[in-house]
Amino acid sequence: MDLLTALRTHRIVAIVRGDDADAALRTVLTLAEEGLALIEVSLSGKDTFDVIRRARAALGPTAPLGAGTVLAAEDARAVHDAGADFVVTPAVCEGVTEAKRLRLPVLAGVMTPADIVAAQRLGADAYKIFPAEQAGGPGYLKALRGPFPDAPFVPVGGVDAELARSYLARGAVAVGVGSPLIGDAADGGSLDALRERTRVFLDAVRLPTDAGR
């Protein structure tokens, strides 16, 4: 898949992690039903590889499906085998190198300018500013865009709907959203509440030219 184009088009990545694999799968499918196209299943959840396999079977071969918290080379190989077609890492690590070897696009976790340069050298497709809230929020993104004006940044960590608007207004190509969007759905919580939150976030990241569609 063309990850960078997908990020620029959809502007939000949902991060699903939970202690109930069946609930996590239901969460992925509900997000997709509501029109949220970019979904990442984090390896920090329970039975993640099984969730990815089942999600891939349910969504079909062409729907974007990512795997997150990919650190080691064996993680990258395992999620590739399970059916993920993009990888998200929390840092510049072996997972980036192996995913690129497997021709999987990578959203690589970065915090500092040195991290960004290292991720560029490894061929990362985009850069996940993590944890964005602790790094300084939208102001930090603005500062990074000085030396890296064309870098595709995706802030992750503590992003609510209002912050999503702020990050995108300051040049982020997309935002990554976990608990403010997912809530307790991946642990068996209300899917109706998840649907409502999904609509709020999709409205928050909608381009002005999308209004009225």
C-alpha span between 27 and 96 (Å, rounded): 26
The answer, as to whether pTM is greater than 0.85, is: yes
At 213 the pLDDT is 43
CA distance readout (Å), 203 to 139, 173, 210: 23, 16, 10
Angle at 159 between CA 92 and CA 202, to 5 degrees: 110
Mean pLDDT of 73-88: 98
Q: Does domain 3-208 have CATH number 3.40.50.2000?
A: no
- The predicted structure's pLDDT at residue 209: 56
The string of pLDDT tens digits covering residues 113-129 is 999 999 999 999 999 99
Across all residues in the chain, what is the average pLDDT? 96
Helix 191-205 to helix 161-169 angle, to the nearest 10 degrees? Answer: 20
